[in-house]
Amino acid sequence: MIINHPLLGPRDSQEFVYLGDAALIHRPDGMADGSLDKFIDYAYLRDNPAGEHRELWYHEQGDRSWLVVTRNTVTHEITAVELARDVARREGRSK
């Protein structure tokens, strides 16, 4: 698979480390009510869809950026690649 890095262009997926579902960006607030259950869901449960999947890839052998890759888990087709930083900002996770 080739991942079209937003800064570096097309890169072999071998240069990356895979983490999993991009929902992991949304780490629960540990101080909020019911945070224990939320953390159990966060750590262990996954949607694991057959089809479009937004997922986190880390460019370890490159610029060490985290990316959010939108990829189809049935065909392996990649339709979007964004910097995870931009996604997290847009979704209100970081400043």
Task: Enumerate binding residues for other proteins (CB under 8 A).
Answer: 1, 13-14, 18, 20-21, 40-41, 43-50, 53, 55, 71, 73-76
Smallest separation, CB 95 to other proteins (Å)? 28
Please name the residues in contact with 95: beta carbons below 8 A apart, sequence gap of 6 or more.
Answer: 89
Q: Which residue type is seen at 41?
A: D
**How many angstroms separate the CA atoms of 14 and 57, rounded?**
11
Smallest separation, CB 88 to other proteins (Å)? 20
Smallest separation, CB 40 to other proteins (Å)? 5
